[in-house]
Amino acid sequence: MSKIIGIAGTAKNTGKTTTTTAIMEKVYSHKLKLGLTSIGYDGEVMDNVTGLPKPRIRAEKGTVVAIAQSCLAAGSADIEVLATTDIRTPLGKIVIGEVKEPGLVVIAGANKSSEVRIVNKLLKEQGCDLVLVDGALNRIAPMVETQGLIVATGAARTTNLPKLAEETSCMSAILNLPPWPEKEKATLVSTSLLNEAMVKELLQRVTSETREIVVTGIIGEKSFQALLDLGKDILPGKALVLPDPIKVLVAGAPDLMFEVIARLADSGTPVYVQKPVKLLAITVNPFYPRYRYTSHDYEPAYVEKEELKQSIQQKCKVPVVDVVEEGIDRLWATLGLE
């Protein structure tokens, strides 16, 4: 059975590529078939001549990729196009291709959840045992189409380790919100909560018989806060069911969103999700680029690696892994491919 796993970096230089490469090498060593795609492209490294992204990932023969047409010639891998989709991106239509000769590849893919769903289906149809979906915190919405998520974070996000640990623990808690058991019959449904007016309209429809309030669409950060403030006398004893944890992360800062969730739960309103996206593991990178004011450039710098790892591990229930320091085995075990 094919697994679809997302890898999301919280910032540039947090070790997402290192994590991805390590997983790929393990897949190849187990003789499994790998599928690769990305949620858009972050434009981090561009070729000054072609204006195209520079390749950073090496793919072995037999790897199946879902990438934009312009990426085919941007790397050194020889890729045979198996199918061309109708999904359009700034770098051309998304194609499904198989690596015939190993080399570097550029992974730039679809941007929308509906498109990523199609791409994942096509990669599974090619017999991939594992599909890796590359992404970032600011492009995380389509990760709802994955079965599990690995978050790459580290000192490049912030060198304030207590702050980083708190943010990461809030992300972890949101991503591991419990699934809705769908046991109750008295359910009130709302499409989206985008502003205070929509919150007021929803709360006016709540009755003493209502047991669950189900939100099926987009959530706004301010409306989520308004739900807590305006519903303090209405919501206790009733459950709040959100679409998925990704929409919560997209709505606002993880610490602010989780604070509302925690306060709702404390007041008697447990929060569930209709479609879970399980957080499998967190990888950490002690590196960060330190700005030098005297020379107006950056130099490599590092926080204390064990302090970084332990500060996050103490606040998160999932494995926290420094791939460079300890290897891939603990991370690999979370994927369930053995």
pLDDT at 139: 87
pLDDT at 325: 96
231 close to 263: Cβ distance less than 8 angstroms = no
**What's the pLDDT at 4?**
98
In the prediction, which pLDDT does 45 show? 57
pLDDT (0 to 100) of residue 76: 92
CA atoms within 13 A on the CB side of 45: 12
Global pTM value: 0.93
Q: Which of 246, 275, 299 is nearest to 180 (CA)?
A: 275
Specify which residues 94 forms β-bridges with: 68
Mean pLDDT by 10 residues, the chain (338 residues): 93 93 97 96 54 73 97 93 97 97 94 97 98 92 96 97 98 96 74 89 92 90 92 94 94 94 96 95 95 87 97 97 97 91
pLDDT at 183: 63
Ranges of beta strands (E only) in 69-114 are 78-89, 92-101, 103-105
Predicted pLDDT at 330: 97
Is the separation of the CB atoms in 33 and 64 below 8 Å? yes
How many angstroms separate the Cα of 237 from the Cα of each of 193, 263, 271?
20, 13, 11
